[in-house]
Amino acid sequence: MLWSAFVFGLAQFAAAKPLASKRWATAEPAVKHAWLETPGGWEYHSAPSADHLLELRIGLKQDKIDELIKALYEVSDPVHHKYGQHLSKEEVDALVAPHPDSIEAVESWLQYHDIDPANAHFRSGGGEWITLHIPVGKAEKMLDTKYGVYYNSKSDEYIVRTMSYSLPQELHSHIDVITPTTYFGTMRAMRSTSFIQDAHPITALNSASFAAEISPLAVPASCGSTVTPACLRAMYNTTNYVPKATATNKLGIAGYLEEFANDADLQTFFSRFRTDAAGAKLTHIQLNGGLNDQTDPGVEANLDVRKSLLSYGWTGLGVTLSCLNHRTDTGGSPPFIADSATTSNTNEPYLDWLNFVLNQTTVPQTFTTSYGDDEQTVPVDYATSVCNLFAQLGARGASIMFSSGDEGVGAGSCRTNDGTNKVLFQPAFPASCPFVTAVGGTTRVNPEVGISFSGGGFSRYFSQPSYQTTAVSTFLTGLGTKFAGLYNAGGRAYPDVSAASNGFQVVISGRTSSVGGTSASSPTVAAIVSLLNDFRISEGKAPLGFLNPLIYSTASTGFNDIVSGSNPGCGQTGFTAGAGWDPVTGWGTPDFLRLQALVG
């Protein structure tokens, strides 16, 4: 049953109110989620106006989510008879639709608070998400909480959040999460997965030398510190591949927070590094106030686009940059207006973007996103809900790459925020979600080694999926008791694969700069996956979809094993790369020709 069941006449709404009042008037609130202390980096600033409008998102329990995940694994397992039989939007929507009892309970609760469900601002296709515009004062009554305006000096932004929220006990079995509440993470605070590596950008390059092809049999040492398209094509064996399914195969890149991929810079990039691709264009999609200011390019967006393009044997594949540039309505003052007519964007990552993509009839076959945060800073209910949205996308045949992070096993003190103040390795989210492919980083060539900042470890939220049990067990046996107690040996382990992440040449405002980070490695792997999808589609086969069951089984030999390097953090030396899978580089870096043979 979808949210169309919420559409009632005014008479029905009025008649239901007395019954709802009896039901909820005496219901005792029970805490849904609470922080013991203000999340790191944030400080209380002031109380928001009671009239300030919030975009309140209610995520209902998905009635058949277990069936969806079962179907996801079936269509993603290369030895299952359903492999490649991805689900349609309608099939996914049916599996994630809330149970009629959940719809009835939430409907009654909303009516009790004088909210007509028919006035929802947004309803997801499966009906498991509903968005309402309501004032802070009403949200505080509904959630038995007090909101505050919080400030982050590092990102210079203000957000409206709460330290805890509660729901009647009955609703705990019907509602997964409500936002904005206790998740303080924002895209602006998470813009740390790439970084400029040289203080003085390179302004004059020899186009011929940088655009020239390099033999994959003799990748020059310079590619270990100055990474160009020719380097990556040689390193990962895509040099001679020419895409064929260019009308069908698409690669999607998520951009945020006024990070624009500049079209002029793209053409300059081609002229310097890929002369055969001159004129290739990028499709821009703006969401939720997203912008496309061609006069103000961004490092992150330019990096993602260039790295996704430069590994192609030919740039005929369609690349879409979806810009979800969350608005900050302020220049140093709290982002709200004290009236009941203007809503503020919640600045919460992923939800707007995922709901937009999932509401499309068709979706790109490959996605890459270069953002992340410490898992412990994301409320588990929020992380689980977002992770399940990635499962929906994977079930529909999309391969989803995420940077594993640039902090090794954890940055800073690595102290926990649960009141115990323990020092533990800190996994990253969404890399820790078992339904995405996390991409770590390498450096150098002949051979590549794991780079020191490559994020890797074990989730404390998500249990270890069966597809990686054998590989992870082998690693843990070799590790022995080292770091015992600092990580969760039973958690989802990451990264899954890796790629070069040091010295990438990127054009920004017409000048070439060197950029590093796993923000480089994720779109590089995504480009190669997109080429593999192109090959399969051109052969009349389904795209690869959710990659991990394939990577950890029949395709594991399609990667260059990285056997040295470590990812220190938290005052520790970190894990060490070795033969087979490891939490520094995963299975290693992709070899397109070997993978092409394995997935064909």
Query: Which residue numbers are catalytic?
Result: 300, 304, 519
Cβ neighbours, 10 Å, residue 361: 8
**Would you say 255 is a known binding-site residue?**
no
Cβ neighbours, 10 Å, residue 182: 22
What is the pairing mode between strands 437-443 and 497-500?
parallel
Q: Of 451, 431, 406, nearest to 589 (Cα)?
A: 451
**Would you say 66 is a known binding-site residue?**
no
The number of CA neighbours under 13 Å toward the Cβ of 43 is 6
Contact 325, 290 (CB under 8 A): yes
**Would you say 582 is a known binding-site residue?**
yes
**Would you say 253 is a known binding-site residue?**
no
Strand ordering across the sheet containing 195-196: 195-196, 511-516, 504-508
Q: 349: helix, coil or strand?
A: coil
Instruction: Please calculate the CA angle 131-186-498 and round it to the nearest 5 degrees.
Output: 115
Token representation of residue 151: 């400030």
Please state the φ and ψ torsions of residue 59, each to the nearest 5 degrees: -100, 110
Instruction: Please calculate the CA angle 585-588-589 and round it to the nearest 5 degrees.
Output: 115
Token representation of residue 249: 């195969």
How far is it, in rounded angstroms, from Cα 456 to Cα 501? 14
How far is it, in rounded angstroms, from Cα 189 to Cα 155? 5
How far is it, in rounded angstroms, from Cα 283 to Cα 296? 17
How far is it, in rounded angstroms, from Cα 505 to Cα 511? 10
Q: Of 200, 186, 199, 266, nearest to 229 (Cα)?
A: 266
How far is it, in rounded angstroms, from Cα 166 to Cα 59? 14
Q: Of 33, 61, 322, nearest to 184 (Cα)?
A: 33
Give the contacts of 9 (CB within 8 A, at least 6 positions apart): none
Q: 272: helix, coil or strand?
A: helix
Residue 60, beta-bridge partner list: 175
Instruction: Please calculate the CA angle 238-244-245 and round it to the nearest 5 degrees.
Output: 115
Please state the φ and ψ torsions of residue 157, each to the nearest 5 degrees: -135, 155
Q: Of 63, 383, 26, 378, nearest to 169 (Cα)?
A: 26
Token representation of residue 435: 């339904």
Residues of the binding site: 561-562, 580, 582
Residues comprising the binding site for Ca(2+)? 561-562, 580, 582
